[in-house]
Structure 1
Amino acid sequence: MTAPLDGIKVLDLTKLAPGPLCTMMLGDLGAEVIKIEEPGPPTGRRAQQAGAAGTQGPVNSFASSPYNALGRNKKSIGINLKSGAGKEIYFRLAQRADVIVEEYRPGVAKRLGIDYEQLSSRNPRLIYCAITGFGQTGPYRDLVGHDINYIATAGVLSLFGRPGQPPTIPHNLVADYAGGGMHGAIGVLAALVARNQTGRGQYVDISMMDGSLALLAQSFSSFFAGGKVPQRGETIFDGGIPNYNVYLTKDEKYITIAAIEPWFFANLCRALGREDFIPHEYDSSKRAEIARVFTEKFKTKTRDEWFAILSKSDICAGRMLTLDEVPSDPQVLAREMIVEVEGPGGQKIKQVGVSVKFSDTPGSIRSLAPQLGQHTDEILGALGYGKDEIDRWREAGAIK
């Protein structure tokens, strides 16, 4: 069955979070993704980085694990890009590629001699996507950082948490995955469309800080219009009102309520037996009382009992599920968002499914994360290199 990106070849030089998510998404949509990995055991900072990424233990133990969703739908070739043979192979791959995704610090690719200028002269149709923390320009471009630094600069972190408390540090979902990885995939897809119109590739500069800031477009619109800086825990969307909040239930779990429209609020009040609150949705002087009553009321039943009641009463409510509960949720199962894929030896491997649903050209999980260098011979053979040459380069450490 045809997939949206069938025939698109992607070279993946990424390692951590945003880049692998970007290329995973492209692979899920049908692109042929080749991971270019450094041959040999990691040393120095590369070894420390592997540990920080959750790959403690044997070399690339998790990166190459079939459970690593970010490695799925990819092939692996081990190339030493600092060697003459490695660069020759890389240039030949780049001449045949549609897309390159990397997440080096600004200037590193140029120092290695594998930057966009070098490659686009050989392949004018190449789309080159670079994902960095602060982007390729500006006074912060050379600063090191991680998710929390980027969302802090973008203003996102200032909105997370309760009033009078330090900001709540979210998981690295905002800058790494949404700001970087997803924006990278969007950028690549848009550049592919543009190439159909112009016949030319281009450089795509993705900043995790930019992407995080873009997620606040509506928040900034409200600020620019009214000049009021939102305080965390005090707006309608972060716990500032009782009808958009989380409540502890009888079984020490949480139910989420989002009854911000008047009709949903009225339905909620009726379901909780407090119709007298209906006229006071916008009465700030009553919020503390409403919150207190709601808090006590939700403690009288379990989370699932409340969900069964509220979901039948046209009320915006949801169970807060933990990761061990999500795979059995009926909606998650119906949407095929947790799937089982056959792994090595025939064992069933659970993974998150493909989120973008197509009626005619669906994406799919065709293969699990490869071992480092698993496809080196296959890829080099397709490039026209012979066995003797491949063996010689492997012996010299240029490839794995």
Structure 2
Amino acid sequence: MALAGVRVIELAGLAPAPFCGMILADFGAKVIRVDRTKTGMSLDTQARGKRSVAINLKTSEGVSLLKKLCLQSDVVLEPYRKGVMEKLGLGPQELLKGNPRLIYARLTGYGQSGSYASAAGHDINYLAMSGLLSRLGRSGEKPYAPLNLIADFAGGGLSCALGIVLALLERERSGRGQIIDASMVEGAAYVGSFAWKSQSIGMWDRPRGENMLDSGAPFYDTYQTSDGKYVAVGAIEPQFYTQLLKGLDLDPGSLPPQMSFTDWPELRRIFTERFASKSQEDWSQVFDGTDACVTPVLSFQQVSSHPHNQERNSFLTDSNGEQSPRPAPVLSRTPAEPSLSSDPFIGEHTVEVLNEFGFKSEEIEQMMTHGVVEGDAIKAKL
């Protein structure tokens, strides 16, 4: 796999950092998640392919152990607020002295500098600070945050993974590691570059929810079908719009022009009534094989059985029978090979990993006895 041989220390966190770690693991990196001791269960639902080591960082021995693991690794992925790792003596400057090739990725909401650097926040806050939230929502309604996808995962976990891969590539030339300052505010804003840079061409010059791509246009929206399901319509270009009207059995001559903003409410009314006259399956039969840009809005339960997704094996099933998306993109020679095993229990691989890092059995046993580490491989097999 593309990242085979890369060793990653991921300090346990929520949402963005675990997603970043899962991406790296899916593509072949050896990702070791460092969990806290005395924790009942992990909240990491993106632990696919990772191993867990439980270390008590409230002890000096635990901090010393983590430092040794970091110094023998390629990447450290750290999701804490600014200053937490420095208080432990494990900040990037300290670790880079011991391992100049180390890539130290810091994934936070507001970044490592600025007046908000130490402030708490969540996806909706970072999205608000990026400017994007002000553009999301229906006309006449308050701004709407679409789950926690844009800042946490696209602007956070995914962009941080990109930064790590870029740093690994650069290290091949320079032989040196570096620090990655991944801010979810800036990552979200960067993901929204199209919205920013297309303002001058009239794409976003109307109020929120009244533009072509933000639910303002009737030909770029969702519609309910007779069975209570939905279809998505994205017929922007004239040739696609023509196909849409043909499938809906509407006479173009009896309708207002496609780009007449003032007539959009009337067009939406007509489309709403027409789509409500048939089921989602009926409309799929009408539009499949055309360029009308009409697709069913599939539920999580439907996606894996759709013929297109089946043909591409777009979704995988793990050993527990749970489905999730296949890693993307698909590489022709070194594709991802995601683990289908159960997610690791906290401390499941403590002994195994420490052995790999050169610790002797008696040293590990002593650390276990003194509460520096925890291991529960037996529980993991039950």
TM band (smaller chain) = over 0.9
Query: Match of 2:86?
Result: 110
User: Could you say which structure has the greater relative contact order, defined with CA pairs below 8 angstroms and 6 or more residues apart?
Assistant: 1
1:1-400 aligned at under 5 Å gives the runs 3-41=1-39, 59-60=40-41, 63=44, 68=45, 70-223=46-199, 230-274=206-250, 275-276=252-253, 280-343=257-320, 348-366=321-339, 367-400=341-374
What is the CA-CA distance between 1:358 and the residue it aligns to?
1.1
CA distance, structure 2, for counterparts of residue 322 and residue 378 of structure 1: 40
Query: Match of 1:53?
Result: none
Work out the number of aligned pairs and report it: 372
What is the CA-CA distance between 1:288 and the residue it aligns to?
2.4
- Give 2:21's aligned amino acid: T
Report the secondary structure of 2:98's partner residue: coil
Deviations 1:41-95 (A, max 9, x none): 3xxxxxxxxxxxxxxxxx21654xxxx3x11111111111232221222222112
Structure 1 vs Structure 2 CA RMSD: 1.8
Query: Match of 2:380?
Result: none
Given that residues 34 and 53 in structure 2 are in contact (C-alpha distance below 8 angstroms), is that contact kept between their aligned partners in structure 1?
Answer: yes
- Give 1:371's aligned amino acid: F
Report the secondary structure of 2:239's partner residue: helix
Deviations 1:1-32 (A, max 9, x none): xx000000000003100000001000000000
Percent identity of equivalent pairs: 36
Report the secondary structure of 1:372's partner residue: coil
- Give 1:100's aligned amino acid: V
CA distance, structure 1, for counterparts of residue 5 and residue 286 of structure 2: 49
Deviations 1:298-324 (A, max 9, x none): 111001211221123321011112222
CA distance, structure 2, for counterparts of residue 314 and residue 199 of structure 1: 50
Report the secondary structure of 1:204's partner residue: strand
CA 1:94–1:61 in structure 2 vs 1: closer, same or farther (change >3 Å)?
closer
CA 1:339–1:10 in structure 2 vs 1: closer, same or farther (change >3 Å)?
same
CA distance, structure 1, for counterparts of residue 3 and residue 135 of structure 2: 37
Query: Match of 1:46?
Result: none
CA distance, structure 1, for counterparts of residue 240 and residue 98 of structure 2: 59
CA 1:327–1:240 in structure 2 vs 1: closer, same or farther (change >3 Å)?
same
Given that residues 205 and 211 in structure 2 are in contact (C-alpha distance below 8 angstroms), is that contact kept between their aligned partners in structure 1?
Answer: no
- Give 1:334's aligned amino acid: E
Unaligned runs of 5+ in 2: 375-382
CA distance, structure 1, for counterparts of residue 56 and residue 237 of structure 2: 58
What is the CA-CA distance between 1:279 and the residue it aligns to?
7.2
- Give 1:141's aligned amino acid: A
CA distance, structure 2, for counterparts of residue 37 and residue 288 of structure 1: 53
Q: Which one is further off, 186-195 or 85-94?
A: 85-94
CA 1:225–1:248 in structure 2 vs 1: closer, same or farther (change >3 Å)?
closer
Q: Which one is further off, 221-230 or 308-317?
A: 221-230
Given that residues 195 and 204 in structure 2 are in contact (C-alpha distance below 8 angstroms), is that contact kept between their aligned partners in structure 1?
Answer: no
Report the secondary structure of 1:185's partner residue: helix
Deviations 1:87-133 (A, max 9, x none): 22222211211101011101111011111011100100000000000
- Give 1:363's aligned amino acid: A
What is the CA-CA distance between 1:331 and the residue it aligns to?
2.2
Given that residues 82 and 112 in structure 1 are in contact (C-alpha distance below 8 angstroms), is that contact kept between their aligned partners in structure 2?
Answer: no
CA distance, structure 2, for counterparts of residue 200 and residue 278 of structure 1: 63
Unaligned runs of 5+ in 1: 42-58
TM-score (norm 2): 0.93
Given that residues 266 and 278 in structure 1 are in contact (C-alpha distance below 8 angstroms), is that contact kept between their aligned partners in structure 2?
Answer: no
Report the secondary structure of 2:177's partner residue: coil
CA 1:137–1:227 in structure 2 vs 1: closer, same or farther (change >3 Å)?
farther
CA distance, structure 2, for counterparts of residue 395 and residue 170 of structure 1: 47
What is the CA-CA distance between 1:277 and the residue it aligns to?
5.3
CA 1:354–1:142 in structure 2 vs 1: closer, same or farther (change >3 Å)?
same
CA distance, structure 1, for counterparts of residue 181 and residue 160 of structure 2: 8
CA distance, structure 2, for counterparts of residue 325 and residue 278 of structure 1: 34
Report the secondary structure of 1:168's partner residue: coil
Report the secondary structure of 1:164's partner residue: coil
CA distance, structure 2, for counterparts of residue 217 and residue 198 of structure 1: 30
CA 1:62–1:90 in structure 2 vs 1: closer, same or farther (change >3 Å)?
closer
What is the CA-CA distance between 1:329 and the residue it aligns to?
2.0
- Give 1:106's aligned amino acid: K
Report the secondary structure of 1:190's partner residue: helix
Report the secondary structure of 2:105's partner residue: strand
CA distance, structure 2, for counterparts of residue 4 and residue 265 of structure 1: 41
CA distance, structure 1, for counterparts of residue 358 and residue 232 of structure 2: 58
